[in-house]
Structure 1
Amino acid sequence: MLRTLSLLALVCALLFNSGTASAQSNYTTTDFFVPNGTLQLQVRKVVETTYSSRRKLPLLLVHGGTGATTSFDLDTDDTSFAKSLALGGFTVYMMNIRGWERSTAPAYNLTDTALVAGSCIEAASDIDAVVNYLLQGNPKGKINLFGWAAGGHWAAYYTTLHNDKVANLIVLNSLYGVKAPWMFNESFADPTDSTKFNSSIPAYRQSNEQAVINIWKTGITDADTTIKADSAIIKAFAKSAVSFNEEHLLKTPGGFRKESFYMANGRKYWDAKDITVPTLIIRGDRDFWSRPVDAEAFYNELVSVPNKKKVTIANGGHFVFLDTQGNGRRKLLIAINNFVKKGL
């Protein structure tokens, strides 16, 4: 009996310690800029410092249609995806592609209807500048690379060019070059030719705070119970997204929309067969941007990788990394940790 009570006390102590470890964790956040020619690319580094003796793996996060700090380091209700990853033993870096948040942009000719502002070529150049900066003094070093939505497109394209610098590639809710129905086909297409992108769509998107909230509503279904459109998280997200200029507008280069339109209609800007590093493909089954066929085709065409895995997160939406009330973010973190650290 005494032995049973002692064992019970030990279990309770362990549960208490594991439960309070996260609450007592401390983080160091560092903001800096990395040059790429005349551009300055905004980077944020997040490190968990309570368990400083842990071996920390470098992980670079690349955003989608909203900037990196808004998406991955939201400072409300314990929603920072970056801190969750840091607690799991990563040194987390998040970067903004040119024109997002505080990253500068070139002087685009916005009257040019053929312009792809913030193309995958430009994005890959920006990623390479940041990766080279992070790997300074470590010529054989590699980075774990995570891309969400358009960021998955950019990260995968970058990897096809620089497999030697990537340890593992992780792609979340991203398109692949498969011709299949897409919810944005009609809104992005030229009214006179459905096979072409509507050139009248501005090269720079400008959205106010309410429009950002409406983006969330696009991806929330009646069946969703974990993230509501009027929640504090979404309001904080929208407020952060429009906080980087005096006009209080989310201003983003629109090239990713043009490339995404063509990808969703079968064009390939890169080929999965050219990726030679371990690759993890994750999709929330309620994502409004990617489609099941994207994950399937991407996975099947990864013929040159030593390890690959495809994960579908049940009830996971476009912003699954901010799902703190359900199990979405937890499942996402487990998938990343198991793949990068254990190859599972």
Structure 2
Amino acid sequence: MNQNATLTTFSHPALASQSWFIDSDTAGVQLYLRNRRRTHIEAFGSERTVMLMHAATYAGDSLFDVAHGETGSFMDFLAMRGYDVYSVDVRGYGGSTRPPEMMAPSDASPPTVSTEIAISDLSRAISHVIERNGLSQLNLIGMSWGGTVAGAYAARVPEHVHKLGLIAPQWIDSRSVSIDTGGELGAYRTVSREAARERWLGAVPDEQREALVPRELVEKWEQITFGADDANPYHVPNGVVQDRRDYWAAGRAYYDPGEITAPTLLIHGEWDRDVPLDTNQAYFRRLTGAAYKRWIEIGQTTHMLILERQRHQAFDGIAAFLDEVLTEN
């Protein structure tokens, strides 16, 4: 069980919350899966089942399950709308098994947990949910690097993806990014509270930071992400950084978005400096095979828009997209 689960749980009598581990394709490596659903619904079906894929630095609880206000977390919101919601942590993140390279000094090994490994872990989680519930497909939502993982999976295994939601997905961009500070990469990188806060709010005018995200929510997010103190450093696999150098920063696409056939929603925030606007515009134009595609641009939000004041615009946009009934032309 994730040690921070009690911090992220939204207490509501209509919702059931559970978590468990599933086997990966590597002996001894288990993946942490959490679930949120309405208690009175016995069967949901493919159209009402959602898998969430986290980003390059923060695990599923830090992004999708930080309860705040009457709506709760993103997982709570979708569950209250009648969806069976799952979130998986790739190995090396959150509650999942840490690779042995992350238990030794970082410079003792090359970058660990590549995008390809993350796709494999996501695939195992999706197969588990599909088989467990007797489904043929499910909806898939990925954020940032999670959008790369989800997008690549949707391109490779289109028969398992009913609809695809992407929140600021990676795309080709040679500009520097905060997760890559240069130099030779070790197995993992260490992220401090200060660096995390600056990355999140650095692009926001000082006078608007408190309005964007209340201080108590930032503090709650930090406690969920980093724990009660800094005694245990927050380590993150460096595989994603190596992949960015080898692909996105080098002008090479990791996969072809044109191979995605599912209806696709892309959401982007105005103040996102991790994935700039023109990057996602270029990505959106490459979605040539999607049954249909949609763009939502949300003003005065950052890369972490699903935790901010305007998060309801993202929540409502995603829910409306998922609620739509697909019809034949």
1:182 to partner: Cα distance: 4.4
Are positions 1:217 and 2:201 aligned together? yes
Cα shift readout 1:148-176 (whole Å, capped 9, x = no counterpart): 11111111112122111111111102221
Residue by residue, what CA displacement relative to the aligned partner does 1:17-63 show, whole Å, maximum 9, x if unpaired? Answer: xxxxx9965321101011013210001101133x6489571111111
Between stretches 302-311 and 264-273, larger displacement belongs to 264-273
CA contact (8 A) 1:281 1:310 kept: yes
For residues 244 and 305 of structure 1, do their structure 2 counterparts lie closer, same or farther at Cα, with a shift above 3 Å needed?
farther
Unaligned runs of 5+ in 1: 1-21, 190-197
Q: Which amino acid counterpart does residue 322 of structure 2 have in structure 1? A: V
SS of 1:280's equivalent in the other structure is strand
Tell me the CA shift for residue 288 of structure 1.
Answer: 2.0
**TM-score, normalised relative to structure 2:** 0.83
Partner in structure 1 of residue 66 of structure 2 = 74
Inter-CA distance 314–225: structure 2 relative to 1 (3 Å threshold):
farther
Aligned to 2:14: 26
| Cross-structure match for 2:121 | 126
Higher mean C-alpha deviation, range 103-112 or range 78-87: 103-112
Deviation at 1:210, TM superposition (A): 3.8
1:273 aligned onto 2:266: no
Name the Cα RMSD after superposition: 2.9
Candidates 95, 102, 108, aligned match of 1:102: 95
Find the aligned partners of 2:312 and 2:131 in 1 and give their Cα distance.
33
- Distance in 1 (alpha carbons) for counterparts of 2:168 and 2:204: 15
- Aligned CA distance change for structure 1 residues 59 and 66 (closer, same or farther; 3 Å): same
Does 2:50 correspond to 1:59? Answer: yes
Match of residue 92 from structure 1:
85
Report how far residue 140 of structure 1 moved.
5.6
TM-score, normalised to structure 1, is 0.79
Whether contact under 8 Å (1:47, 1:86) holds in the other structure is yes
- Determine if contact 1:170/1:279 at 8 Å carries over to the other structure: yes
How many percent of aligned residue pairs carry the same amino acid? 22
Partner of 1:15: none
Q: Which of 34, 38, 47 is equivalent to 1:44?
A: 34
CA distance in 1, matches of 2:234, 2:68: 19
Return closer, same or farther for 1:253/1:180 CA change in 2, 3 Å cut-off: closer
Counterpart mapping for 1:1-344 below 5 A: 26-36=14-24, 37-38=26-27, 39-49=29-39, 52=41, 57-64=48-55, 65-78=57-70, 79-108=72-101, 110-111=106-107, 115-136=110-131, 141-177=136-172, 179-184=173-178, 188-189=181-182, 198-199=183-184, 201-222=185-206, 223-224=208-209, 226-228=211-213, 231-243=215-227, 247-261=231-245, 262-323=247-308, 326=309, 328-342=310-324
Report the 3-state secondary structure (helix = DSSP H, G, I; strand = E; otherwise coil) of the residue aligned with 1:282: strand
CA contact (8 A) 1:285 1:317 kept: yes
Q: Name the aligned partner's letter for residue 285 of structure 1.
A: E
Structure 2: which 5+ runs fail to align? 1-9
Q: Deviations over 1:307-329 (max 9, x none)?
A: 11111111121111112xx3x21
Q: Are the aligned partners of 2:36 and 2:75 in contact in 1 as well (CA < 8 Å)?
A: yes
Mark the CA change 1:245 to 1:102 in structure 2 (over 3 Å): closer, same or farther: farther
CA distance in 2, matches of 1:121, 1:111: 22
1:58-81 superposed Cα distances (whole Å, 9 cap, x missing partner): 111111111111221124545411
Between Structure 1 and Structure 2, how many residues are aligned?
A: 306
Question: Secondary structure of the residue that 1:321 maps to in structure 2?
Answer: helix
Pairwise CA distance, 1:218: 2.7
Deviation, structure 1 residue 253: 0.5
Greater C-alpha radius of gyration: 1
Structure 1: how far apart are the matches of 2:197 and 2:148? 24
**Residues 264 and 218 from structure 1, CA distance in 2 versus in 1: closer, same or farther, beyond 3 angstroms?**
farther
Q: CA deviation at 1:128?
A: 0.6
Q: Is the 8 A contact 2:266 2:294 kept in 1?
A: yes
**1:226 is paired with a residue of what secondary structure?**
helix
Matched residue SS, 1:136: helix
Q: Is the 8 A contact 1:62 1:95 kept in 2?
A: yes
CA distance in 1, matches of 2:296, 2:68: 28
